[in-house]
Amino acid sequence: MLFAVLGIEDLIPLLVFGGIVAGIWALLSMISNRNSQALDRLSRLSRPQSLADIEDPNKKANAGKFQGLADAVKSISKPLMPQTELEQNALKNKLANAGFRSEAAPMVYSGIRIVCLAVSFLIALSIFVPGRPMGFRMIGGIVIITGIGFYIPSVILWYLRSKRQQDIFLSLPDALDLLVVCVESGLGLDAAMRKVCDEMGTHAKTITEEFSLANFQLQMGRPRREVLHDLGVRTGVDDVKSLAAILIQADRFGSSIAQALRVQSDSMRTRRKQIAEEKAAKTAVQLLFPLILFIFPGIFVVLVGPAAISIMENLLKPH
C-alpha cells in the first residue's frame, strides 16, 4: 500500500536511509562479536586448564542462551551510553532512585531509548510521508514525533523515580518512630531495622526494601558508614540522606544512636509541619486560577444572562 502511494523519487531517500541503518547495524554487530570472541579467548587462556575442564556445562549452556541477547542490547545501547565516569554514576543513581539497581540497568535503559527513537521515527514516516509532498511541515512533524518518542523513557523514569521517592518520604516518619522505640527499648540498630522491616513490610514496601538491603549489607560485613551512605544515595531522598549522616556521625563519635534518632525525628516532624503550612499558604493563590477560569464565567452567565436577554428583546422589539 505504501509503495503504491509513493513514487520512485519519494522512495529513494527511504531506501538510502534503510541501507545506511543496515550497514551501521552490521558494522556494530561485527565489532561486538569480534570483541566478545576476543574476550572469551583471553578468559579461556587466563584460566588454569583444571578449572576449564571442570566447568559446569549447565552454566555454560544457560550463559550461551542469553549471550546473543546481551550482545544485541549492548550494541544497540552503546551510542547513548555515558562516556565519562561522572555521567555513568549520575545515570546509575537515577536508575537506583527509581528502583533499578542492576549493573545492566544503564545499558538496558539506553537500549530502550534507541528502540523508542527508531519506533517513533517509523511511526512518523508512516503518518507524514504517504501522499504528502516534501516540505517543512512534514519534516517538522517527523522531528517532533521522533523527539517525543526519544524522551518518553526519560519521562517514565522521572515518574517512577518521583513516585518511589514520594513513597519513601511519606512512610519514613513511621519507620523512624518505630526505630526510636526499638533502639530506646534496648535493641541495636541492625535488630531495630529488622523489626521495622517485619512490622511495616505489608504497607511500606519501598522503605522496608531499602532497610532490608542495608541490613543485608551489614550482615555481609560491609562497614556501617558505607552502608548508611549508600542508603542515602540509593534512595535520593533528603530526609534519608540526613538520617544517614546523623547515624554516621553518631557511630563515628560514639554518641547515643537513640538520641540521634529522636533529634532527627523531631526535626523531620518540624519540617513536615512547615511544608504543610507552606502548602496551606499557597492554597489561596492557587484557587484564583480555577475561580477565574471555571466559576466566574458560570456566575457571570447566571447573573448577567437574563438581563442581557431582556435588553436584546427590548432593542429588537419594533417600535
The three-point CA angle 33-36-37 to 5° equals 85
Q: What is the mean pLDDT of residues 278-291?
A: 86
- Between these two residues, 27 and 147, which has the higher pLDDT value? 147
Q: How many CB atoms lie within 10 A of CB 93?
A: 14
Q: What is the mean pLDDT of residues 146-163?
A: 89
In this prediction, residue 48 carries a pLDDT of 45
Does pLDDT of 243 surpass 80?
yes
DSSP string of 110-135? HHHHHHHHHHHHHHHHHHHSTT--SS
Q: For 238-254, b where at least 16 C-beta lie within 10 A, e where not — what string?
A: ebbbebbebbbebbeee
Distance CA 12, CA 127 (A): 18
Which of 2-6, 37-41, 151-155 is the least confident region?
A: 2-6
Percent of the chain at pLDDT exceeding 70: 72
Q: How many CB atoms lie within 10 A of CB 112?
A: 18
Distance CA 226, CA 216 (A): 13
Q: Give 78's DSSP letter.
A: G
Consecutive H or E run containing 221: none
Does pLDDT of 11 surpass 60?
no
Does pLDDT of 62 surpass 50?
no
